[in-house]
Amino acid sequence: MELINKCKSLAQRTHQSSLDWGEIKRCCEMANITATKIVQPVLTRWNSNCMMLESILKMRPGLVICQDSDDVREELRSLFPDESEFEFIKAVLPFLKECKRNSERWSADKSVTVASFQQDLVSLNLFCKLIIFF
């Protein structure tokens, strides 16, 4: 939960501070990646944390450069995930994407059957166990 709160703070910062966003964009340019605003999670949107983590992971090279830069204020640097947190995001993201895919399918279907819902839940459970053991 601490990592999620840290990432939420980073997302909020990129939307509220043009100075901090400019620093992140500069670092992303140095890493030859396109800087995109980090998705801000919304409590009422199931998949918004997944989208937030995915957007942070896409900008990882730029954020790493920012983290190592003396030009970036410590207050901003403290919001960047460290190497172990990036690895955790990378490990958990496939499961979150699968949850997102299923929830979008359940929302789109006019009539989700109990059998298909149960099958999806069993698949998610197995997927989760695979992540834990590997």
- The H-assigned helical ranges of the chain are 2-16, 18-30, 48-58, 60-68, 74-77, 83-108, 114-133
Task: Provide, rounded to the nearest whole percent, the portion of the chain with pLDDT above 70.
Answer: 90
CA 100 to chain centre: 12
The predicted structure's pLDDT at residue 132:
62
Residue 111 pLDDT greater than 80, yes or no: no
pLDDT tens sequence across 15-58: 999 999 999 999 999 999 999 999 999 888 889 999 999 999 99
Question: What is the residue whose two structure tokens read 């006019």?
Answer: 110
Q: What is the pTM of this model?
A: 0.81
| Number of domains within the chain | 1
pLDDT tens sequence across 53-107: 999 999 999 999 998 888 888 899 999 999 999 999 999 898 889 888 888 877 7
Domain that holds residue 21: 2-133
